[in-house]
Amino acid sequence: MSLSINPRANTLTVPGIRQFSNQLVNFPNAINLTIGQPDFPTPVAVKEAGIRAIEQNLTGYSHNAGLLELREAVNTFFSNKYGFSYDPQNEIVITNGASEAIDSIFRTILEEGDEVILPAPIYSGYVPVIELCGAKVVYLDTTETGFQPSAKNLERLITEKTKAILFNNPSNPTGVIIQKDTMDELVQMLKEKEVFILTDEIYSENTFSGEHHSFAAYKELQHKLFYIHGVSKSHSMTGWRVGFLMGPATIMKQVMLVHAYNSICASLPAQHAAIEALTNSKDTPSEMNVEYVKRRDYVYNRLVGMGFSVEKPNGAFYIFPSIKAFGMNSFDFATKLLQEGGVAVVPGSTFTPYGEGYIRISYAYSMEVLKEGLNRVEKFIQTIQK
């Protein structure tokens, strides 16, 4: 007998993003540019659909895979927009946010000793789940290739142990979108490999110029590809907790059980709200994008004007400037910026060791907040450059 806990759970730490935003209580006048959620309210019609569901006592469990009507709406939305289709009956599971989709697919496919390749820097939500499964993360460095995952470099990392490769496109934290020709090269190479492809495209609706291309649209990958999405970012519904996972029926059968034993189903009123989001309110994201583009341009121009080296982001609502010129690591830079400059940003090292030397700024904030935040950043860097 023992009261010790799973050592893998013991290694978990508070996410870096939260470490910084949690510190903010000690700096009540600081400008917070850390959080990755839209600052818009959930669209009125979506809220009303959720309220209606509650009033009509639609508050019980749904089918484990989620309401069929929502699965059908998911398929219609993605097939109309991106030209790929999944069978609502047996290839789509509605999850508690994209987070639970990530958890369910990894727990279904991973075994002890497997390797998962992540292009890095990347969102910090994948590594803990992979490691809790007893698998190992292998990073593909994208810092020398404009944050694009190079097919050649990726191929070198694939071994007998590789079980899966995960892409996040558009990217949190860089805001970069995988270029179509790069994606074509990746698919050409990956179609020959016996590895699962996971694609987290939760920011697809936050694409600011050009089209979003999805890995799911490549037929040659469909038998081994899992598509992760949700309404959190597209419809400003982070607290409603509705995500989607799509993939081949043979494996989705087991994914559905992993999901069912975890949480039975996603919240029913929230599923009703998500139906509204993907049908009558399907154009809300492009309305939000008008605002994001203005903010993106403003923040990018200000950072370039201050002398930061930075890729212009084309999606999501993050920007990832280099701070290498300041001779400090990203944690120290962010700490100093908060304590002395009054602005909270996320140290790049939160997004794997390959994010070291950068900071992530979220521009899911009003123009007024962004202006004040960037004025403070400008003042701060002048003091540390002296």
Ligand X SMILES: Cc1ncc(COP(=O)(O)O)c(C=O)c1O
Which of 91, 114, 185, 200 binds ligand X (CB under 6 A)? It is 200
Whether the Cβ atoms of residue 345 and residue 374 lie closer than 8 Å to each other: no
Nearer to ligand X, 281 or 350 (CB): 350
Residue 99 makes contact with ligand X by CB under 6 A = yes
Residue 206 makes contact with ligand X by CB under 6 A = no
Within 166-185, the residues that bind ligand X by CB under 6 A are 168, 172
One character per residue 237-276, x = contact with ligand X (rule: CB under 6 A):
-x----x---------------------------------
Residue 123 makes contact with ligand X by CB under 6 A = yes
Residue 230 makes contact with ligand X by CB under 6 A = yes
Whole-Å CA distances, 344 to 180, 274, 347, 358:
34, 32, 9, 14
Query: What's the CA gap between 350 and 357, in Å, rounded?
Result: 11
Nearer to ligand X, 75 or 350 (CB): 350
DSSP-assigned letters across all residues of 348-386: GGGG-GGGTTBEEEE--S-HHHHHHHHHHHHHHHHHHH-
Instruction: Match 């982070």 to its residue by tokens.
Output: 238
Question: How many other CB atoms are found less than 10 A from the CB of residue 156?
Answer: 9
Site size for ligand X (CB under 6 A): 14
Stretch that binds ligand X, among 85-93, 146-154, 230-238, 345-353 (CB under 6 A): 230-238
Least distance from ligand X to the Cβ atom of residue 336, Å:
25
Nearer to ligand X, 146 or 239 (CB): 239
Minimal CB distance to ligand X: which residue? 97
3-class DSSP state for residue 41? coil
Instruction: Match 């121009």 to its residue by tokens.
Output: 301
Query: What's the CA gap between 98 and 63, in Å, rounded?
Result: 18
Spatial CA neighbour of 232 closest among 364, 347, 60: 364
Which of 198, 202, 256, 288 binds ligand X (CB under 6 A)? It is 202
Query: What's the CA gap between 61 and 69, in Å, rounded?
Result: 14
Burial zone of 345 (CB within 10 Å; 0-12 exposed, 13-18 middle, 19+ buried): buried
Would you give the distance in Å from CA 304 to the centre of its chain?
25
Which of 30, 98, 166, 178 binds ligand X (CB under 6 A)? It is 98
Whether the Cβ atoms of residue 151 and residue 182 lie closer than 8 Å to each other: yes
Least distance from ligand X to the Cβ atom of residue 171, Å:
8
Residue 205 makes contact with ligand X by CB under 6 A = no
One character per residue 356-375, x = contact with ligand X (rule: CB under 6 A):
--------------------
Nearer to ligand X, 202 or 246 (CB): 202
Stretch that binds ligand X, among 52-60, 97-105, 142-150, 355-363 (CB under 6 A): 97-105
Residue 38 makes contact with ligand X by CB under 6 A = no
Residue 119 makes contact with ligand X by CB under 6 A = no
* 341: DSSP letter: I
Stretch that binds ligand X, among 96-104, 133-141, 219-227, 290-298 (CB under 6 A): 96-104
Least distance from ligand X to the Cβ atom of residue 56, Å:
25
Helix residue ranges, H only, the chain: 7-10, 16-23, 44-55, 68-82, 97-109, 127-132, 151-157, 180-190, 249-263, 268-278, 284-305, 330-336, 367-385
Least distance from ligand X to the Cβ atom of residue 95, Å:
8
Least distance from ligand X to the Cβ atom of residue 126, Å:
8
- Give the footprint of ligand X on this chain (CB under 6 A): 36, 97-99, 123, 125, 168, 172, 200, 202, 230, 232, 238, 243
